[in-house]
Structures are given as structure tokens and as C-alpha cells.
Amino acid sequence: MAALRLLFLCSRNQWRSPTAERIYARDPRVQVRSAGTSKSARRRVREADIEWADIVFVMEHDHARRIRPLGGRDAQVEVLEIPDDYQAMDPELIDLLRDRIEPVLLRVIS
């Protein structure tokens, strides 16, 4: 089976989505990218990112709303409901990400 392509999105691509990208970067089950939905994002999400992804993990419902106008194919969108309360690689953030992403991966891969 080909590796799943995961896109992680937060607002500014500064803390949450880069952390998710980093913790899954060496996972052989997946290929990963991260981006932000805000105009001030370090790397702003593009339609090509949505086209590339099998699953788009967004941190908040607002991020899902913001990517709708980008169109693209119907990638699965999963809202993680993780607030912007953490710094990059915060151990609590890492635990939250794994706790919310792993069930989705297990469901899709099996």
C-alpha cells in the first residue's frame, strides 16, 4: 500500500502544524506536509496541497472553513480541535496530536 499523504494545517504554520509534520516525518506509513490558512502563515496552504493530500488534518473548525474555497479533490478533512495554546514540540501538544491522529490513521490503514 502506498503511503498516505497527510496535510497538517493551522493558522500561521508556526507551532501546531509544523509539530505534527515533524513527529510524523519519519513514519513509513505516511508522507507529510504542513501549511497555514492565514495570510501571515510561514507557508500558506495552496490548492495543490489539498490536491496532494489523502487526509487534511486541521486544528480548528475555522481552518476547515477557510480551505473550502480552495476546491481541489475531495480529500478527507479531520478536525483535531487543538487550540493555539502550545509552542512547537510542546510535549502536551505532541501527546494531543498523536492521541487524535492515530485513531484516524488506524481506521484508514486497516
Domain ranges of the chain: 4-109
The pLDDT assigned to 68 comes to: 86
Name the CATH superfamily, with its identifier, for domain 4-109.
Answer: Response regulator (3.40.50.2300)
pTM of the model: 0.95
Mean pLDDT, the chain, whole residue set? 94
Q: State the cell numbers at 77.
A: 478533512
**Cα 81 from chain centroid?**
11
The pLDDT assigned to 72 comes to: 61
Query: Is 71 a residue whose pLDDT tops 80?
Result: no
Return the sign of the alpha-carbon dihedral for residues 43, 45, 47, 50: positive
Question: Which pLDDT band, with edges at 50, 70 and 90, does 15 fall under?
Answer: very high
